[in-house]
Amino acid sequence: MDTKLKRPLRAVRLTPVRTPEEQRRLGEAAIKAMNELAREARRNGMTPRKARAILSELREERKAKRHGR
């Protein structure tokens, strides 16, 4: 019997699918974390614009790291 595949296997998702409940919990946690950061920034006299700039910079870095750059 020929064991060679006629077509490649379908790509398997490495991340498990999240239930809506899990998704909601994660979203709430993220929002809570963001609010905490915002409060902290205000306490330290940082303008919202400056805080956003820093956050977007961090986001860019994370994205770059994720794509192995």
Distance CA 34, CA 40 (A): 10
pLDDT tens digits along 9-56: 777 767 778 898 999 999 999 999 988 988 998 899 988 888 889 889
Element at 59 (helix H, strand E): helix 48-66
| pLDDT at position 5 over 80 | no
Token readout for 54 is 């820093």
pTM above 0.85, yes or no: no
- Tokens 């820093």: give the residue: 54
In order of 1, 36, 41, 54, the CA distances from 31 in angstroms are 56, 9, 15, 17
Please report, for the chain, the start and end positions of each structural domain, with discontinuous segments joined by +.
23-66
